[in-house]
Amino acid sequence: MPLTFASADAAVLPLYVLEPDALAGWLAKQDPTTRHWVEASGFQAAIGATLLLPGPDGAPMAALAGYGTPAQRARQRFVLAAAATALAPGAYRLANALPDDRLETESLGWLLAGYGFSRYRDNAPNCAALVAPEGIDAARIEALAEAEALTRDLVNTPASDMGPEALEQAARDLAGRFDAKIEVTLGDALLDANFPMIHAVGRAAEQAPRLIDMRWGQSGPKLTLVGKGVCFDTGGLNLKPGASMGLMKKDMGGAANTLGLAHMIMSLGLPVQLRVLIPAVENSVSGNSFRPQDILTARNGLTVEINNTDAEGRLVLADALAFGAEETPDLMLSLATLTGAARVAVGPDLAPFFTDSESFADALTEAAPRMADPVWRLPFHDPYEALIEPGIADLDNAPKGGFAGAITAALFLRRFTQGASAYAHFDIYSWQPTAAPGRSKGGFGQSARAILGALPKALGL
């Protein structure tokens, strides 16, 4: 179903959203029949609890939805989304006010509750419709929901249907919709164009590696987004165990989130010069796979010793980052499902980020709660630079010892960003392990909305 608000012209029931402490006061204002009905039903205004109120003829005349206590709401990102799938089908409008700082988030969560990945079977949830509440920018919320659905669809699609070719087509479809320009450097042409590490990682796969380069906007600050597009990661010759390979269709989650963010930026018309770079590859096993102990020379001339072919994401990102930095963007961001160490550090809900720009960090930290997209800052800890310097080459793609894996990966990437005025890296998970209100199990957008919320302050828009 489209993630859009219901028409106000449709048959609409008023929906009263109540906290437990407010329930008695609301009931005191109702007629005896309504009071007795609610009391007999056992409705206590818990999160996810709903109740239809019958009119004199027995037909529904209104509905109630529980909003829970503040302590309960603190554990939920989208509280009202629990009611969206619990209410009887139909259209509803809010009959009482929600806090201003929650209205946009709850409206977005309601729309996202309607998402289901239905490419292979109908998985659309039974979700009630909502008339856009007064006080929100409905078109903006719908654009955020559509971008999130794009990201989830891309991540959820298995590599059999979402290889480098399909990822390129997704980028082309997005570019065509918003009249963006797109160029793709494919296969052995990567060597001629000086993208040796993208080529090395992807050359063993049946579908050729490629660099997708999309541009939109003619004026404003230069914003460059770089998304990891490893469409499947076997681990290469350092083959992953089966249990570790199970979710590797999501290893292009950085690219998916980058395209989702680009969708939001273009649909909302932000005054920026947007560039999106996606190295799209599969890390496969073949006779021409790159090997442990190989030394690769990156686009910017740095040499990299390969100590684990399963640390391939930073290699393809490095060439793309070096390329993007050559145009001296005002802000360059990389998004990648890069390290298991990041998940150990902060779990699946938080998106850790790294930056040396205090102004961007401040803008992002302020925006993330407002956009219902939590992030957490981790350090570019300079003393750990020695861990990524193997001696035989400039850099090591997989430092031994296992300590600070997310930090050393971020430090590796930073070596390829000289020229960018500001840089930040997001080590995302892009997967929802268990379903929650507004958050279906599976592919998931992470950090893109927080970034969108930070851009006006970070870029002076």
Quickly list DSSP for 44-111. Answer: ---TT-EEEEE-TTSSEEEEEEE---HHHHTT-SSSTHHHHTTSPSSEEEE-SPPPHHHHHHHHHHHH
Comparing C-alpha atoms, which of 439, 412, 400, 427 is closest to residue 321? 412
Residue whose tokens read 């003393």:
383
314 a catalytic residue: yes
Q: What are phi and psi of 427, to 5 degrees?
A: -100, 90
Please check whether residue 114 is in contact with residue 127, taking contact to mean a CB–CB distance below 8 angstroms: yes
| Catalytic member of 93, 299, 314, 415 | 314
| Catalytic member of 35, 172, 240, 370 | 240
| Both structure tokens of 60 | 């529904």
Q: Give the separation between CA 427 and CA 220, rounded to whole angstroms.
A: 27
102 a catalytic residue: no
Mention every residue, 6+ apart, whose C-beta is less than 8 A from residue 317: 226, 228, 279, 334, 336, 338, 413, 416
| Both structure tokens of 244 | 């570790």
Sign of CA pseudo-dihedral 412, 417, 421, 422: negative
Strand, helix or coil at 254? helix
Active-site residue list: 240, 314
